[in-house]
Structure 1
Amino acid sequence: MSATPGRADARPDLPDNPPTPPVPPAPPPRPAPLAGNPRDSVRAALLIGACIGAVWLAGTALHAPPALIWAAALVLSTVCCWAVGVLPEPTATLLFFLCAVVFHIAPPTVVFSGFTSTAWWLMFGGAVTGVALRNTGLALRLADIIFHKRVGTYPQVIATVAGSAVGLAFLMPSTTGRVLLLMPIVLALSDRLGFAPGSNGRIGMVMTVALASYMPPTTILPANIPNSVLLGAANSLYHINLSYGSYLLLHFPVLGALKTVVLIWMICKLFPEKGPMAPQPATVRTAMGAQERVLAVILALAVAGFATDAWHGISPAWISLAACIICLLPGVGLVPPKALAEQVHLVPLIYVAGFLGLGAVVESTGLGSAISAGLLQVLPLAPGQTAANVGTIGAMGAVLGLLSTLPALPAVLTPLARDLATATGLPLESVLMLQVPVFSTVFFPYQSPPIVIAMQLGGVGLRHGTRLCLAMAAVTLVVLLPLDYVWWKLLGYLP
């Protein structure tokens, strides 16, 4: 047999095309990077341990019951985690829920009462209608109507947002409702102005809605929850009816109108946007579509229901929930199920439930009453020292406000009003009214759930909110409260 030409060394027992070597398996996918820094968890553990140790030492020295000590340790640890930001907000909130239930600090019905509160359902309903506002384009149209020819400069934008929030407080008695109505509109305007998420302009606009919806309206009856709680408690405990006109005259000029001006100035300083902005022409020139008209009717009816809740007795929360259900109805189509799942965020809902649950725990465990009674025994109150007495009562309220949410503050302070009036020699109505400067001054965002709701919906972090709240509190303490004291003296509320 002759050899194959050109293949003298070929072997007949091997195939012409040897097999391809096996491909090595692909390496497994790399795990996702860790969320956050592990050192944050260590810092959080150290902070919580320090809070527990401090409360335990103080409680033991004061011979407080162990149950009260553990309640105080939980409240202080949670508040510090929220204020400092060593843990993400939902993580700190869920940890509060777990510890409160596992260690029997309070019954589960109290711990989780935030999920059954009207404020939580008001937020949920407003979140759904906010999605409808964005999806239908009505938010952009309303932004055109409200802000057209009013956005020549950044301070003008902030002033318009603040004026809208304060003006709406005279018509809508729910702070959260105002936040949920204004936030989609303001975010739509922010997009039009080119303020990206995280920019100073967007942060400034969101924080304007947050603080202007709560701080100045504390001077308007019954625009906020603390106002309403004070109104009801004063009537039920002391048969004192706080009139709308006298309440407005006493509080609004300094803590309402002047504070709004200070807020506008402060936001422009802390979150500046340099350079003038050209007036924005209206971008929505077509007629309203069917979905926009339906949503406009729903919102108009909801706002009318909010404004007349004292007449018909239906909570704004259930009005908001009814509007939400209508938006979700098949055939109406304003919020499809997919948009409900993707655009209604769970984090702010958990966060708000935690704030409300914390206040309920403080009240149910008797922690707030115990702290108030203890402070009342050691405070330097004496008749005839008006300025010192006013400052002392304000400082006591500020301390209590740091341990719970501000809406719960009148429920704690009002029962002490008669004792405070006796100790100071001040009129009982004046002592009741002294609560307003306290719950209108916010040191940290967690003290006011509506502020937190606005920040969550606007995508603003706790650091920015804390920075602004502390700056506003400093100006309030140094400038506004002394002016308010002089105003009270002129009106005869203080001797």
Structure 2
Amino acid sequence: MLKYKKIIVAGLAAFALVLAFYPQSLMTTDQARTLGLVLVTLSLWATALVPAYLASLIFIALALLFKLAPPDVVFSGFHSSAMWLVFSGFLIAAGVRKAGLSERIGSALTARLSHSFPLLIFGIFAVAIVLAFVMPSSLGRFFLLWPIVLALSDKLGFAKGTNGRAAVALATVFACHLPGFTLLPSNVPNLILAGAAQTIYGVDLTYAQYMALHFPILGLIKSVIIFTLIVRLFPDTPQPAAADDGEVGRAQPLGWRQWYVIAVLAITLAFWVTDTFHGINPAWIGICASIGLLMPGIGPVAPEDFDKHVNFGVFLFIAGFLAVGAVVNATGLGIVIAQGMEYVLPLSPGRDFINFLSLSLMGFVVGIISILPGVPAVLTPMASELSALTGLSLTAVLMTQVIGFSTILFPYQSAPLMVGMQVTEQPVGNMMKILFPLTLITAFILLPLDFFWWKLLGFI
């Protein structure tokens, strides 16, 4: 397998060199070089031939050396809210663990979930989907839920490397992210789409309409499919450890530090839930929570814990991940790809089903090259033209983007998936065991089902 990975990366690197020095007429020199560099970077992320942070550094360095975009664009990831949301997520997770809350909650849930492996995975999905309705960030949901799931996993005998550990990790990562695409404020691409639609066309995407259109099929039914794939592909049997003397101690009343962490989390969650009213970015709220958890003498996260739990490699990956999207947009490469697909795809009025599939495919392909947040950034300015070509309403064209950016083939397309994969220490292969069949099921079953759902609602 390693040999084939090297061949793939080497082949793409050779192709990138050809593009760098012999750009095609359809692209500018910078666009051709960006395409080559992006393909190499994506192949390194997808194959895990080198650590993800090293692939990010390679992209950043070459983008700067070739002057593909100004330094402030290449380094934009370092001052993005996503970066600081990951930072605060690490500290929130560390605080929950160090205060003993994850252990305590895990112990309380063991008796209820130890009898059935499917019930355990279902419980993770249920909690994550409920959180998606109140928390605006998939990374925030993940970092809040993962320490509890990890403690529960240990209680149920799912050691590192077992099917059980892989199953609970994958369930947490996917459940905290994919259903959120169907709830307007719950994921970043959704918000970019809503903001761009309002800014460019004056179209307001409402919460209720967005949820009614996407949540039943792409939220609930897709979650059931992911649940089934995880249970079938990673079967295991919980083997809870016998209670020992330590269990008795955990039944004692909460200590003052645990109450302090609960208070910090409650205030943080309250601000996250009400962000629509006060307008404070969830990342800045997370930084304030981090300060509370780091406060000497009060917070549970000591300086040595800070060094241990804050993963700088993940930060570098996130910076590179966001840099890819920023450079692709800055060079106009995403628009070139989308416009090329516009001429290739069979778009014409009166062919609603074909148009629906074609627009969804366009969003999917753009998401592979420019990563998910780049989909609405690239396609929204083209929506009016696509509406004229297909005869579909402008809002319908905009909404097809959701199908495209919620269909993920590779983990590198999504920062929450990559962060979750690294934090839970899951190999790329485990993620692909879910993503590849899920993409096929989405294409051949959920897409037609979604089309008929839209027709039933009178949206097409």
TM-score, normalised to structure 2, is 0.94
Q: Secondary structure at the match of 1:81?
A: helix
In the alignment, is the contact (CA less than 8 A) between 2:155 and 2:240 conserved in 1? no
Q: Secondary structure at the match of 2:380?
A: helix
What does residue range 274-313 of structure 1 map to in structure 2 within 5 Å?
A: 274=237, 284-313=250-279
Q: How many angstroms does 1:150 deviate by? A: 2.9
Q: Please, which of 370, 373, 377 is the counterpart of residue 407 of structure 1?
A: 373
Paired with 1:96 and 1:423, the residues of 2 have a C-alpha distance of 36
The one-character-per-residue Cα deviations of 1:197-236 (angstroms, maximum 9, x if unpaired) are 1211111111111111111121112111111111111111
In the alignment, is the contact (CA less than 8 A) between 1:147 and 1:160 conserved in 2? no
What does residue range 51-200 of structure 1 map to in structure 2 within 5 Å?
A: 51-52=15-16, 55=19, 59-60=23-24, 62-145=25-108, 148-200=111-163
Residue of structure 2 in register with 1:245 after alignment: 208
Q: Residues 171 and 102 of structure 1: is their aligned pair in 2 closer, same or farther, counting only changes over 3 Å?
A: same
Residue of structure 2 in register with 1:370 after alignment: 336
In the alignment, is the contact (CA less than 8 A) between 1:150 and 1:279 conserved in 2? no
Residue of structure 1 in register with 2:282 after alignment: 316
Q: Residues 370 and 165 of structure 1: is their aligned pair in 2 closer, same or farther, counting only changes over 3 Å?
A: same
Q: Does 1:430 align with 2:396?
A: yes
Residue of structure 1 in register with 2:345 after alignment: 379
Q: Secondary structure at the match of 2:134?
A: coil
Residue of structure 1 in register with 2:10 after alignment: 46
Q: How many angstroms does 1:64 deviate by? A: 2.1
In the alignment, is the contact (CA less than 8 A) between 1:233 and 1:414 conserved in 2? yes
Which runs of 5 or more residues in structure 2 are unaligned? Answer: none
More helix per residue: 2
Paired with 2:6 and 2:415, the residues of 1 have a C-alpha distance of 28
Q: How many angstroms does 1:277 deviate by? A: 6.9
Q: How many angstroms does 1:274 deviate by? A: 4.4
Residue of structure 2 in register with 1:31 after alignment: none
The one-character-per-residue Cα deviations of 1:277-329 (angstroms, maximum 9, x if unpaired) are 79999983011111111111001111111111111111010111111111112
Q: Residues 63 and 410 of structure 1: is their aligned pair in 2 closer, same or farther, counting only changes over 3 Å?
A: closer
Q: How many angstroms does 1:42 deviate by? A: 5.8
Which runs of 5 or more residues in structure 1 are unaligned? Answer: 1-36
Q: Secondary structure at the match of 2:452?
A: helix
The one-character-per-residue Cα deviations of 1:111-146 (angstroms, maximum 9, x if unpaired) are 121111000101101101211111110112233455
What amino acid maps onto 2:355 in structure 1?
A: N
The one-character-per-residue Cα deviations of 1:222-259 (angstroms, maximum 9, x if unpaired) are 11111111111111111111121121111111111111
The RMSD of aligned alpha carbons is 2.3
Q: Residues 306 and 275 of structure 1: is their aligned pair in 2 closer, same or farther, counting only changes over 3 Å?
A: closer
What does residue range 205-216 of structure 1 map to in structure 2 within 5 Å?
A: 205-216=168-179
Residue of structure 2 in register with 1:22 after alignment: none
Q: How many angstroms does 1:333 deviate by? A: 3.8
The one-character-per-residue Cα deviations of 1:61-101 (angstroms, maximum 9, x if unpaired) are x3422111111111111112111222221221111121111
The one-character-per-residue Cα deviations of 1:385-411 (angstroms, maximum 9, x if unpaired) are 111111111111111000022122111
What amino acid maps onto 1:490 in structure 2?
A: L
Q: How many angstroms does 1:452 deviate by? A: 1.3
In the alignment, is the contact (CA less than 8 A) between 1:137 and 1:292 conserved in 2? yes
Paired with 2:249 and 2:18, the residues of 1 have a C-alpha distance of 58
The structure whose Rg is larger is: 1
What amino acid maps onto 2:13 in structure 1?
A: G
In the alignment, is the contact (CA less than 8 A) between 2:113 and 2:119 conserved in 1? yes
Paired with 2:240 and 2:373, the residues of 1 have a C-alpha distance of 38
In the alignment, is the contact (CA less than 8 A) between 1:132 and 1:335 conserved in 2? yes
Q: Does 1:477 align with 2:443?
A: yes
The one-character-per-residue Cα deviations of 1:169-205 (angstroms, maximum 9, x if unpaired) are 0011111110111111111111111111121111111
Q: Residues 214 and 282 of structure 1: is their aligned pair in 2 closer, same or farther, counting only changes over 3 Å?
A: farther
What amino acid maps onto 1:324 in structure 2?
A: S
Q: Residues 284 and 478 of structure 1: is their aligned pair in 2 closer, same or farther, counting only changes over 3 Å?
A: farther
The one-character-per-residue Cα deviations of 1:451-474 (angstroms, maximum 9, x if unpaired) are 111111111122211221112111
Q: Secondary structure at the match of 2:69?
A: coil
Q: Please, which of 340, 352, 357 is the counterpart of residue 323 of structure 2?
A: 357
Aligned residues: 457
What amino acid maps onto 1:482 in structure 2?
A: P
In the alignment, is the contact (CA less than 8 A) between 1:200 and 1:273 conserved in 2? yes
Q: Does 1:348 align with 2:314?
A: yes
Q: Secondary structure at the match of 2:250?
A: coil
Q: Does 1:331 align with 2:284?
A: no
Q: Residues 397 and 293 of structure 1: is their aligned pair in 2 closer, same or farther, counting only changes over 3 Å?
A: same
Q: Secondary structure at the match of 1:240?
A: coil
Paired with 1:54 and 1:426, the residues of 2 have a C-alpha distance of 40
In the alignment, is the contact (CA less than 8 A) between 2:363 and 2:403 conserved in 1? no
Q: Does 1:204 align with 2:204?
A: no
Paired with 1:264 and 1:42, the residues of 2 have a C-alpha distance of 33
What amino acid maps onto 2:337 in structure 1?
A: I
Paired with 1:41 and 1:272, the residues of 2 have a C-alpha distance of 28
Q: How many angstroms does 1:367 deviate by? A: 1.1
Identity %: 39
Q: Residues 481 and 378 of structure 1: is their aligned pair in 2 closer, same or farther, counting only changes over 3 Å?
A: closer
What amino acid maps onto 1:97 in structure 2?
A: I
Q: How many angstroms does 1:268 deviate by? A: 0.8
